[in-house]
Amino acid sequence: MMQMTAVDAVMRTLADPTRRAVFERIVKSEEITVAELTRGSGVTQSAISQHLRSLKAAGLIADRPEGRNVHYRADPKGLAPLVDWMALYGVFWRGRFSNLRTLLKEIDP
Amino acid sequence: MTDAAMILDTQDIVVEEVFPHAPETIWKTLTTGDLIGRWLMKPTEFEPVKGRHFTFQTTPAGMWDGVIHCQVLEATPNERFAFAWKGGHEGKRRLRLTAGHCRHVHPFQG
C-alpha cells in the first residue's frame, strides 16, 4: 500500500461529514472541550472523542490538557497540505492571466 | 519539520504565459494601479518602486482579515517586475513578472 501523505490524511479525515462538522465547530471556537462539542451534537461523547483523535492524527487540531479537561483548538497549519495541493494547479493565476490577456487586447488591439 | 513540510517548502508553481504585446504595454498593465485592478485586484498604496509595500483587500476568511501584504522586489522598467505576496496565517509567495514574457513563480513556505 502507498504511504499516506499529509494531503491524503487531511482529505480522508475531512471526507466524513460528522467529523468535518466537529472540525468546523473547533475552528469557530477559540478552544473547546469534548463535553462542549458533544452538547447538542446528537452524537455520543465517545464518537466525538474518536473524531478528535482522527483530526489530531491528521494535524488539523491541537490539544491542551488542563486538569481533567482537554481543550481543543484548530491548528492553522493543518489545512496547508490541502491548500498547497489546490494551489499546485495554479487555477487562480491562470484565471488572472486570462484577464490580463483580455485587458492587453483591449488596450493594444 | 516533517518530510512533507520540507517538500512543500521548496515547491514552486510556475505559470508561464507569453503575451504578444510590446514590453512597454505589458509593463503598463503590470505597474499601473488601475490596470492591475482590472486583471488582478485593485492594490492600495501601490507604486512600482523597489521596496514599496502595498496591499490587496480580499474577502476575510476565518481568522484571516483578507489582507494580502505585498512588497515590490524588483522593478526594472519594461523588463522585470517582481513582488512578494503574503496572505493568511502562513506562507510567503513571490510573484515574478517579466515584461514581454510573463513568468509566475509561486514558492511555498509551510
DSSP string computed for A5-57: PHHHHHHHHHHSHHHHHHHHHHHHSSSEEHHHHHTTTSS-HHHHHHHHHHHHH
Distance from the B4 Cα atom to the nearest Cα atom in chain A, whole angstroms: 7
pLDDT at A6: 81
Inside any domain, residue B68: yes
* Confidence check: pLDDT of B108 > 50: no
Inside any domain, residue A22: yes
**Average pLDDT for B30-49:** 94
**Average pLDDT for A82-90:** 72
* Confidence check: pLDDT of A97 > 70: yes
pLDDT at B36: 94
Inside any domain, residue A1: no
Q: B48-104: per-residue pLDDT in tens?
A: 999 999 999 887 766 667 788 888 989 999 888 988 887 655 555 556 665 544 455
- What is the distance, to the nearest Å, from the Cα of residue A34 to the centroid of all Cα atoms in its chain? 18
Decide if A100 and B110 are in contact by the 8 Å CB cutoff: no
Q: Taking CB atoms and an 8 Å cut-off, how many pairs form between chains A and B?
A: 70
Distance from the B40 Cα atom to the nearest Cα atom in chain A, whole angstroms: 6
d(CA A13, CA A75): 14
Range of the domain at B46: 15-105
Q: A26-37: per-residue pLDDT in tens?
A: 998 989 999 999
Inside any domain, residue B63: yes
Inside any domain, residue A96: yes
- Structural domains of chain A, count: 1
- What is the distance, to the nearest Å, from the Cα of residue B49 to the centroid of all Cα atoms in its chain? 14
Residue A35's closest CA among A10, A11, A71?
Answer: A71
d(CA B81, CA B50): 9
Inside any domain, residue B5: no
Inside any domain, residue B1: no
pLDDT at A8: 87
What ipTM was estimated for this complex?
0.73
Q: Give the mean pLDDT of chain A.
A: 88
pLDDT grade for A89, boundaries at 50, 70 and 90: low
In the chain, the amino acid numbered A19 is R
**Average pLDDT for A34-47:** 92
**Residue ranges of E strands in B1-92:** 14-17, 43-44, 53-57, 67-76, 80-86
**What CATH number is given to the structural domain containing A76?**
1.10.10.10
C-alpha cell at A42: 446528537
Residues ≥6 apart with Cβ < 8 Å to A109 = none
Radius of gyration of chain A (CA): 20
Inside any domain, residue A91: yes
Range of the domain at A83: 6-107
pLDDT at B88: 59
d(CA B18, CA B66): 30
pLDDT at B31: 93
Decide if B4 and A97 are in contact by the 8 Å CB cutoff: no
**Average pLDDT for B39-45:** 93
pLDDT at B109: 40
- Structural domains of chain B, count: 1
Please tell me the pTM assigned to this model: 0.55
**Average pLDDT for B18-27:** 89
B109: which chain A residues are within 8 Å (Cβ-Cβ)?
none
**What CATH number is given to the structural domain containing B50?**
3.30.530.20
d(CA B93, CA B86): 6
**Residue among B15, B25, B89 minimizing CB distance to A94:** B15
**Average pLDDT for A61-83:** 90
- What is the distance, to the nearest Å, from the Cα of residue A54 to the centroid of all Cα atoms in its chain? 12
Inside any domain, residue A75: yes
Give percent of chain A above pLDDT 90.
61
